[in-house]
Structure formats: C-alpha cells, structure tokens
Amino acid sequence: MKPLEECRLYAFVDTAYLAGRDPVMVAEQLCEGGADLVQLRAKDLSAGQIEALAERILPVTRAAGVGLVINDHPEVALRVGAELCHLGQEDFFDAGHRHVSELRPPGSSLRVGLSTHAPEQALRAVAAGADYVAVGPVYPTGTKPGARPVTLAYVRWAAEHLQVPWFAIGGITLENVEEVLAAGARRICVVSAILRAPDVAEACRRFRWHLDRAGRVP
C-alpha cells in the first residue's frame, strides 16, 4: 500500500450496507474505483467470522496495493496480516490501553487508527501513538445513529492542529464533500454514500475527483 500519509479515500466493506452482495466483490469495486484504504466493518459477525472474511478480502486489497483495515479486532488484523486496525475510544482507552504499542507484538508493522469526536480526544489519541485519527461524525449518519455531529468546526480545528494523518468521517456525501474539503480536510472516510450508490466503483471515482481537485495532502 502507499504510505499512510498519501492515503486520501478511505472506503468500507460494511456488512450492514451490503444488501446481499458478496463482500469480496464489493472490495474489488472499491479498489477499482480508487480507494486507498478499505475497512472491514462487521458489527454483526463474530471475530472468527470476521477473520474468515478478512482472509478472502486481503488478496484483493493486496493485489490492488490498498491497505486493509480491520475494525474493532486488532488480534484478527495480526492473525491475517492486515496492514491496519481501527478502534473507537471505548475499545481503546476505556479498555485500559494507554499506547498503541500495547497492541503490536515485537516486530509487527500493524498500524492503529483511533476514532475521535473532540479536540481533547484527538490530542489524547496522538499522545497514545495513533498512526492516524478519524475526525467525526461531521454530519448525522446512520452508521452511528446515536452520535452527535461534531460539525465542520472540528474539521477546521483538525486542519490547524493535527500533524498525524486524519480523516474526516460521518455523513459525507457528494453533495457536501466540498464543504468538508473547504474546511481543511484532505482525507475522507465514506461509507453509505459509496455502498448505497448504484455503481460503487464510479462513486469512488467521483469522490476521488473532488479530493484531487482540492489539492495535495498537507
């Protein structure tokens, strides 16, 4: 995969949005459309089922030079050889972790991303060694129905203060992506606006067009 700093479009194989489609096929479409990272998010599956699915998806992402992110399960990421894992605040800090190095065995190159919903959480994540942080949810989103939107104000704060790679996430669509980019984001995570599109690969390409138009990653 390309260096994390150069990754801009972060897409998802989210089992809640597949509507009966083969997750491997969806992963292929995301890679074809230009996703830099693909997260496997499967809240409805056991760790064993996620591991089996990750083993099917990993050859697809590897062949495309795309990083595979395992949500919630660093142990699964380590076993299958995924490049990254992603954890929420409750899965990391509330679980007693203080630094991402605790999740990496000696010699492991696993990278860890953390969700953040406020500046103080972002600063804490950076201090904990997060390789990247997610900033959101920017807008209301069905992916996190109970989460309060952080609005573009947090995106602007991140653009001014964060030195690690960060991705705006939450309710980003082709209709509002320009607002997010104008606020300073140069990396975005997109779930439903891609997975619910009639053509997944084309939806990725359209988001990439906006990202490329916005200019280089700072």
Name the binding residues for Mg(2+): 72, 91
Give the Cα separation of 20 and 164 in Å (integer).
36
Place of tokens 């089922």: 49
Q: Which of 121, 135, 120 shows the shortest CA–CA distance to 184?
A: 135
Number of C-beta neighbours around residue 189 at 10 A: 26
| Binding site feature residues | 39-43, 71-72, 91, 115, 141-144, 171, 191-192
The verdict on whether 148 is a catalytic residue reads: no
Give the Cα separation of 143 and 139 in Å (integer).
11
Number of C-beta neighbours around residue 210 at 10 A: 15
The verdict on whether 109 is a catalytic residue reads: no
The verdict on whether 108 is a catalytic residue reads: no
Give the Cα separation of 161 and 38 in Å (integer).
26
Which one is catalytic: 8, 41, 111, 186? 41
Which one is catalytic: 8, 111, 124, 144? 144
Which one is catalytic: 111, 115, 124, 187? 115
Residues annotated catalytic, as ranges? 41, 115, 144
